[in-house]
């Protein structure tokens, strides 16, 4: 079953927890987005995990250096996953994986800014990442001509466990599922919807169809 991850790009943890409360029945992984973590810090991760002890919580650190140290910070605060940038050196990923093993948690390597996402995904899994996020960030999505199809094609070619993030919505999530991705990440399609619970349920139903 493909997991559904909600990416929460709010700035206040109270707003993030209120959103998560609405959508939790349909969500497998709750992601604290990078802006939320910069705004609320490690305390925000702890508050989210305390509110949802039975959900997987992902801290979207996008770590570029000091992989072991930063991963230890995230796991110590209650995160089940931490993201490390694929553009960082192998030693950064290796350090984070070491921390993950010590905590019984997982590293997700984020390919934002990586040119050859398929190759880096394969390398990251070989280094011990649990899965790789094939990701086009908010700025890239705003560029003219952006299409999530590139990520969907990469996922089908990667042959390793991947998630897809970068404009997943009700129009694209079936293709995301068919690509072989193990996690579909949806941010604005859920938190920007008039009825986030309805939007999350629709995405979950499409994944389960």
Ligand X SMILES: O=C([C@H](O)CO)[C@H](O)[C@H](O)COP(=O)(O)O
Phi-psi region of 85 (alpha: psi -120 to 50; beta: other; left: phi over 0): beta
Contact (CB, 8 A) for 151 and 134: yes
**Distance in angstroms (rounded) separating the CA atoms of residues 62 and 70:** 10
CB 136 to ligand X: min, Å: 7
CB 7 to ligand X: min, Å: 3
Of residues 73 and 176, the one with the C-beta less far from ligand X: 176
Chain positions contacting ligand X, by CB under 6 A: 7, 9, 33-35, 60, 137-138, 141, 165-168, 185-189
Residue of closest CB approach to ligand X: 187
Contact (CB, 8 A) for 191 and 10: yes
**Distance in angstroms (rounded) separating the CA atoms of residues 205 and 209:** 6
Of residues 140 and 205, the one with the C-beta less far from ligand X: 140
Of residues 54 and 139, the one with the C-beta less far from ligand X: 139
CB 142 to ligand X: min, Å: 10
Of residues 27 and 102, the one with the C-beta less far from ligand X: 27
CB 5 to ligand X: min, Å: 9
Report the first-to-last Cα separation within the chain, whole angstroms.
10
């Amino acid at each position: 079953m493909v997991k559904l991850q909600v990416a929460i790009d709010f700035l206040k943890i109270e707003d993030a927890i209120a959103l998560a409360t609405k959508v939790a029945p349909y969500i497998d992984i709750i992601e604290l987005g990078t802006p939320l973590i910069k705004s609320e810090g490690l305390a925000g991760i702890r508050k989210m995990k305390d509110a949802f002890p039975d959900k997987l919580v992902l801290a979207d650190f996008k770590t570029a250096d000091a992989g072991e140290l930063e991963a230890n910070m995230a796991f110590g605060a209650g995160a089940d996953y931490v993201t490390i940038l694929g553009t960082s050196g192998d030693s950064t990923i290796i350090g984070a994986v070491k921390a993950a093993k010590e905590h019984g948690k997982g590293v997700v390597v984020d390919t934002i800014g990586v040119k050859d996402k398929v190759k880096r995904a394969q390398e990251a899994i070989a280094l011990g990442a649990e899965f790789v996020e094939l990701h086009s960030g908010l700025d890239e999505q705003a560029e003219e001509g952006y299409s999530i199809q590139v990520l969907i094609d990469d996922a089908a070619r990667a042959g390793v466990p991947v998630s897809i993030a970068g404009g997943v919505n009700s129009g694209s999530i079936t293709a995301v599922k068919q690509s072989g991705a193990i996690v579909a990440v949806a941010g604005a399609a859920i938190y920007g919807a008039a009825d986030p619970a309805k939007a999350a349920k629709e995405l979950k139903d499409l994944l389960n169809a």
